[in-house]
Structure formats: C-alpha cells, structure tokens
C-alpha cells in the first residue's frame, strides 16, 4: 500500500502512527506541498481536494485521514483498533468527528497560523480550542483511552494535533489529564514521533 505523505502533516502522521503501532507495512510517497505538487493534475486524480494523506491499495484510492484509519484498522486480523460491533464503531466515530472538526478548527488551525503563516483567524482557532480542551481533559480524567477501554483509531486520530498544540502557541499545562493521555499514547509499543512533537524534538 502506498501512502502519499508529508512529514510535517499531522493528518499524515495519524496514519504513520497507526501503521507503526500495528506493524502495518506502508510505502511512503512524499508529496511536496511547498512546491504545489498537490495541485498537479496527476495528484488531483488521486484527491481532487489536493490534500494529503492519500492511500492507494491496488485499484482502491482513499483520501481523508479518518477514512484511511478506518480502512486500515478494518483490514487487520486483530480488530481491537476498530471492532466489528455497532456500538464500538459509533463510539469511535464520534471521536473521529472531533478530530476532523473541533481539533481541525482549533489546535490544528492555530498551528497552521503559527508555524506555517496560513491566513486563518487566531481568535476563531482559540475559540474552538478553549471549548475543546476542557471537554477532552474531563473525558480522559475518568478513562484511559478516548473511545474504548483500550487504544483505538480514535486515539490515533486525536493524538497528532493535540500533541503538536504547543506549536500553535497553545499550552497543555492547564490540562493534566490530557497530558497523561498523551504520555500513554507515547508509551505504546511501536510508537513513532513526528517533528515538533513536544518533548521529542
Ligand atoms: N480531512 C483531511 C484534511 C487533509 C489536509 O488538510 N491535508 C493538508 C496537510 S495536513 C493538505 O494537504 N493541505 C494542502 C492544501 O490545503 O493545499 C484529512 O483528514 O486527511
């Protein structure tokens, strides 16, 4: 399987992290966003939105980090990361939605502004962040993992942009339970870091 990838992308890191934690073999194809390679017609055939990550598995092409996590986890013999029952899948999906909505509009947007100079509004990003982080912190005060009693793809989807939040000027110090959850993810066998991850680089 090919993963069209960018090393600094938290969305791509979700997939690389999951693959590392589950011994899933992926061949990385770097995409140079800085030179606009993601807007080349060939890449647009893979993803008309011009975004990484994109997974290609034979004839099957899939965009969106959450969708790719579901696909990869569903193909594993060990269904621990994406179990087959409806309640588990729905519970995980509600956190995948938080990753693609609240986290994207909050800490991810703040990092895009701070680190990459994207023309987004910091006030809006902080509004989302201030609403999000207390909820996440309270959730992991009472349970170790976001969706189930063990790590799932929900944790892989949430980890990158929360761990990278300091790159957006967001301190995680007021959220000790969330920091303990970050540490639990970092302690998982097979864990790999990403450039800029707090404490690692
Ligand atoms: N919903 C998508 C968002 C992907 C996305 O925003 N990718 C960024 C890199 S992290 C990108 O390729 N941006 C290129 C652009 O917007 O021009 C996902 O979760 O994979």
What share of the chain has pLDDT > 90, as a percent?
A: 97
3-class DSSP assignment, residue 113: helix
Looking at the CA of residue 10, tell me the nearest atom of ligand 1.
10
**Residue list, ligand 1 pocket, CB within 6 Å:** 6, 9, 11, 33, 38, 50-53, 64-66, 100
Residue that terminates a domain, selected from 79, 103, 121: 79
Contact between 126 and 167 (Cβ < 8 Å): no
Residue that terminates a domain, selected from 79, 100, 121: 79
In this prediction, residues 119-126 reach a mean pLDDT of 98
Q: Which domain holds residue 88?
A: 82-186
Nearest to 16 by CA among 167, 194, 163: 194
Residue 33 DSSP label: T
Which residues lie below 8 Å from residue 21, measured CB to CB, with a gap of 6+? Answer: 151, 156, 188, 189, 190, 191
User: What's the whole-number average pLDDT of the chain?
Assistant: 96
pLDDT digits (tens, 9 = 90+) for 125-167: 999 999 999 999 999 999 999 999 999 999 999 999 999 999 9
Q: What is the CATH number of the domain that holds 112?
A: 1.20.1050.10
SS3 assignment for 121-175:
CHHHHHHHHHHHHHHHHHHHHHCCCCCCCCCCHHHHHHHHHHHCHHHHCCCCCCC
The verdict on 70 and 103 lying in the same domain is no
The enclosing H or E element of 102 equals none
How far apart are the CA of 143 and the centre of ligand 1, in A? 30
Query: What is the C-alpha separation between 157 and 160, in angstroms, rounded?
Result: 7
In a domain, 158, yes or no: yes
The verdict on 113 and 175 lying in the same domain is yes
18, pLDDT greater than 90 = yes
The verdict on 70 and 13 lying in the same domain is yes
In a domain, 195, yes or no: no
The verdict on 125 and 177 lying in the same domain is yes
Length of the chain: 201
pLDDT digits (tens, 9 = 90+) for 85-111: 999 999 999 999 999 999 999 999 999
For the chain, count helices (H), then strands (E): 8, 4
The verdict on 36 and 64 lying in the same domain is yes
**Residue of 51, 71, 72 best suited for mutating to test ligand 1, as the one with most atoms within 8 Å of CB:** 51
3-state DSSP percent of the chain in helix, strand and coil, to 5: 55, 10, 35
Query: What is the C-alpha separation between 158 and 182, in angstroms, rounded?
Result: 10
Residue that terminates a domain, selected from 64, 79, 94: 79
The verdict on 130 and 158 lying in the same domain is yes
198, pLDDT greater than 80 = no
Looking at the structure of the chain, the number of domains it has is 2
How far apart are the CA of 54 and the centre of ligand 1, in A? 10
Contact between 38 and 51 (Cβ < 8 Å): yes
Nearest to 52 by CA among 100, 3, 101, 117: 3
């Amino acid at each position: 399987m090919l993963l069209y990838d960018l090393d600094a992308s938290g969305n791509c890191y979700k997939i690389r992290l999951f693959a590392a934690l589950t011994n899933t073999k992926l061949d990385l194809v770097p995409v140079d966003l800085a030179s606009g390679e993601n807007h080349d017609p060939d890449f647009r055939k893979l993803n008309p939105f011009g975004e990484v990550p994109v997974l290609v598995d034979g004839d099957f092409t899939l965009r969106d980090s959450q969708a790719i996590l579901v696909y990869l986890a569903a193909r594993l013999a060990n269904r621990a990361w994406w179990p087959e029952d409806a309640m588990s899948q729905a519970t995980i999906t509600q956190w995948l939605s938080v990753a693609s909505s609240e986290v994207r509009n909050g800490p991810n947007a703040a990092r895009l502004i701070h680190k990459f100079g994207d023309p987004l509004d910091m006030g809006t990003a902080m509004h989302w962040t201030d609403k999000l982080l207390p909820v996440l912190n309270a959730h992991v005060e009472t349970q170790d993992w976001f969706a189930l009693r063990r790590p799932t793809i929900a944790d892989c989807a949430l980890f990158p942009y929360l761990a990278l939040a300091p790159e957006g000027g967001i301190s995680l110090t007021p959220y000790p339970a969330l920091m303990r959850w970050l540490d639990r993810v970092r302690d998982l066998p097979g864990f790999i870091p990403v450039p800029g991850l707090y404490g690692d680089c």
